[in-house]
Amino acid sequence: MILKEPGEGWVWARKLGIEKQKVIRELHRVQPARNSILLLFLGLWVFGILLIRSSPLLLAHLFAYVIIGVAIHGLAILMHEGCHGNLFRNLWKDRWLGVFCGAPALLSYSAYRVVHLKHHRHVRTAEDPEEFMNLSRRPWVRSLAFYGWILIGALPYVVLVPVNAIVLGRWRDRVDVVSEYALLIALHGTVLAVAWRYELLPLLLHGLVIPWLAVSIFTHVRGWAEHAMTMPGHPLTQSRVITSNRLVSLLMCNLNYHLEHHLYPAMPWYNLPKLHELLSDEYRKAGAFVYSSYFRFLLDAVRTGLHGQAPRFRLGDQVGVSPDSSSR
């Protein structure tokens, strides 16, 4: 089954040849067995906890916090996949696996889905709930929020997601949001009570609470890179690709291929790199924003700032900044 969720690529793809369109449709097929990456993230979490318990070294603990942060961040991305129906193409299964995966990051599947799908429908416009430019008309406020995001962005985000979902959602959405947050409160309350009862509070602190800092940093950098300093108004220039390396891509479930995800949000994560290869020539013609690493993006982000436009095709030492006007 192919879920034709509204995406920026469906209309634009009419310009492609029939063969490429056929390949794109094939890439939408879901392989539920690939959801087993969930076991990798759970395994990393367990490994991090065992490392903390087995070693008193601060360096080992810091490494464990990063490992656990990677695991929680990866689980949250799987929740995001469920919001697009990319886990099973089954509403009930996608929702409840999404609820499970979002719980460690304190996110409700239904709340996130309401806000995130609105972002997809209105990306980089005045109606986009995740657009920095919509925070204020004053440039200094926007810039403060942009750079402050790297420090505290996840904290207000966790609060704003349910608030925005209640405001933007339908009656049924609101019921789902409230019920899921009740479940989250009960779940985390139970974990806290068990940790208190069996004197496991230090393990809870080191195995969940402190790693949230790593989760926040990963989320902030990824959120920065997805759309900031791009060019709104065209499907190929308002989202960014950061090819990075295979390990980073795996641990992020390929969400670093964010342009591909916005073109076809119903395409499962494991096929996004294939779509990138298929459309690479189109990206060059359009002057898409393609980077080879997050480090390089961060350098440009600091230099350019929110109100500028970062270089395009930041691959290796080559920077392409001359889009083909015919592709617009």
- Give per-residue pLDDT as tens, 56-94: 999 999 999 999 999 999 999 999 999 999 999 999 999
What does the pLDDT read at residue 285?
A: 87
User: 241 - beta bridge partners?
Assistant: 257, 290
Whether residue 326 is predicted with pLDDT greater than 50 in this model: the reply is no
- DSSP classification of residue 325: G
- pLDDT score recorded for residue 16: 79
**How many beta carbons lie within 10 A of that of residue 322, not counting itself?**
9
User: Among 105-109, 210-214, 303-307, 316-320, which stretch is predicted with the lowest mean pLDDT?
Assistant: 316-320
Q: Is 190 exposed, middle or buried (0-12, 13-18, 19+ CB in 10 A)?
A: exposed
Strand partners, 318: 315
Query: Tokens 């995800």 label which residue?
Result: 261
237 near 313, Cβ under 8 Å?
Answer: no
Q: How confident is the model at residue 9 (pLDDT cuts 50, 70, 90)?
A: low
Identify the band that residue 2 occupies on the pLDDT scale cut at 50, 70 and 90.
very low
**Entry pTM:** 0.90
Better pLDDT: 149 or 38: 38
Q: Is the pLDDT of residue 269 over 60?
A: yes
pLDDT at 1 over 60: no
19: Cβ–Cβ under 8 A, 6 or more apart, which residues?
Answer: none
- Distance, in Å, from the CA atom of 216 to the CA atom of 258, rounded to the nearest integer, reads 19
Residue 228: its pLDDT value, please? 85
Place of tokens 């795996």: 250
Query: Pick from 212, 218, 281, 264: which is nearest to 244 by CA?
Result: 218
SS3 state at 125: coil
Q: Give me the mean pLDDT over the 154-178 stretch.
A: 92
Inform me whether the pLDDT recorded for 265 exceeds 60: yes
Token pair listed for 138:
């004053």
Number of helices and strands (H, E) in the chain? 15, 2
Q: Do residues 283 and 277 lie in contact, with contact meaning Cβ atoms separated by under 8 Å?
A: no
Residue 173 CA to residue 238 CA, distance in Å, equals: 28
pLDDT score at 153? 62
Q: pLDDT tier at 151 (50, 70, 90 boundaries)? A: low
Q: What is the largest CA-CA distance in the chain?
A: 67
How confident is the model at residue 55, as a pLDDT? Answer: 94
Q: pLDDT at residue 177 above 90?
A: yes
Nearest Cα to Cα of residue 37 among 303, 286, 269, 309: 269
What is the per-residue pLDDT for 79?
A: 98
Q: In which band, very low, low, confident or very high, does the pLDDT at 141 lie, cut at 50, 70 and 90?
A: confident
Give the least confident one: 4-13, 71-80, 260-269, 300-309: 4-13
Q: What percent of the chain has pLDDT over 70?
A: 87
- Backbone φ and ψ of 254, nearest 5°: 60, 20
Give the whole-angstrom CA distance, residue 30 versus residue 34: 9
pLDDT at 224: 85
Banded model confidence at residue 11, pLDDT cuts 50, 70, 90 = low
Q: Mean pLDDT over all residues of the chain? A: 88
Q: Is the dihedral of CA 69, 204, 48, 210 positive or negative?
A: positive
Model pLDDT, residue 6 = 56
User: In this structure, what token pair is assigned to residue 145?
Assistant: 């929020």
- The separation between the first and the last C-alpha atoms of the chain, rounded to the nearest angstrom, is 32
Contact 79, 112 (CB under 8 A): yes
